[in-house]
Amino acid sequence: MTTMTESPRGGAPLIQMTEVGKSYGAIRALKGINLTVNAGEVACVLGDNGAGKSTLIKIMAGLHPHTEGTLLVEGAERRYESPRQALEDGIATVYQDLAVVGLMEVWRNFFLGSELVRSRFPLASMSIRDMKAIADAELRKMGIVVKDLDQPISELSGGQRQCVAIARAVYFGAKVLILDEPTAALGVKQSGVVLKYVAAARDAGLGVVFITHNPHHAYLVGDHFVILKLGQAVLDRKRDEVTLDELTRQMAGGDELAELSHELKELGGRTEAIRTVEEDTRRRRR
């Protein structure tokens, strides 16, 4: 039986996963995942490559249906068969490498796939002026100022490109914003730009799922932290239940890292003992 967790802002959580799992044939990619995404909060999902982060994204974004457990969206059970179904429920995903089309103008990227059209029977034309005005206004709401909306978006910094994609999702009615490693390929300054807009989306009332391998970035904006390893959660804490040091230690390997360090020290001791015996043997032969 699924227990409903009430959102801090009232009502059902935007997303609630209970014991969710995913198998591809005999391969189990996720097992027993519990995750709650509330309006006005950032849920951070951390883990190394192969931890299960991509599979989790695909379930929420409608790319792959889950095979175990329950997925509730605003209290209604869902098992998505396509990304369109997730989008209709207000779940938008911004992928690290596929957020924008580099050679297209900024304003075209903002409306990509959802262009405004004026109907003039028997022809229809795009309302370019309106789209530019809306794109400019919405970007400014997020604190993004673009000098020339006609420039290719590839001329913007990596952080700015990510922010355009975030503003686009907000404008088109996203309730849940899934961000796939948005700071992975960015320097410190541009990462700061993106994190500022993650916080802005949260403050606008969206539920944000921030996928990352960087505990420092996660802790700057996160309200809830889940660390995945080999498809299972090894840590699930609210912000006031975990420190940055603990988050970093768990991401670095936690108890396994301490055990490895102990083994290496023992190995170092044995190596030193062997070296001493070899030196004593050489002395006796002289």
Residue 98, pLDDT score: 66
Quick check: 71 pLDDT over 90? yes
Q: Is residue 8 within 8 Å of residue 43, measured between CB atoms?
A: no
Would you state the structure tokens that stand for residue 15, as one six-digit string? 């997303």
Q: Residue 13: what pLDDT?
A: 95
Percent residues over pLDDT 90 in the chain:
56
**What is the assigned CATH class of domain 15-103+172-252?**
alpha beta
Phi and psi, residue 175, nearest 5°:
-100, -35
Asked, as a colleague might, if the bond just before 8 is cis with ω within 30 of 0, I would say: no
According to the model, what pLDDT value does residue 3 have? 44
The 3-state DSSP composition of the chain as helix, strand, coil percent (nearest 5) reads 40, 25, 35
Question: Beta-carbon neighbour count of residue 119 at 10 Å?
Answer: 8
pLDDT in tens, 17-47: 999 999 999 999 999 999 999 999 999 999 9
Look over the chain and give the mean of its residue pLDDT values, rounded to a whole number: 85
Residues whose CB is less than 8 angstroms from the CB of residue 57 and which lie 6 or more positions away in sequence, other chains included: 63, 93, 178, 180, 209, 211
Dihedral (CA of 231, 33, 239, 44) sign = positive
| 1-21 per-position pLDDT tens digit | 344 455 555 668 999 999 999
For the chain, domain boundaries: 15-103+172-252, 254-286
Q: How confident is the model at residue 59 (pLDDT cuts 50, 70, 90)?
A: very high
Instruction: Name the token pair of 183.
Output: 């700071």
Instruction: List, for residues 202-260, the tens digit of each pLDDT value.
Output: 998 999 999 999 999 999 999 999 999 999 999 999 999 999 999 999 988 755 555 55
Rounded alpha-carbon distances, angstroms, from residue 281 to 223, 255, 275, 278, 285: 62, 39, 10, 5, 6
Q: What Rg value do the Cα atoms of the chain yield, rounded?
A: 24
What are the φ and ψ backbone dihedral angles of 151, each rounded to 5 degrees?
-75, 150
Residue 207: helix, strand or coil by DSSP?
strand
> 85-108 pLDDT, tens per residue?
999 999 999 987 666 888 999 999
Q: How many residues does the chain have?
A: 286
The span from the CA of 189 to the CA of 23, in Å, is: 39
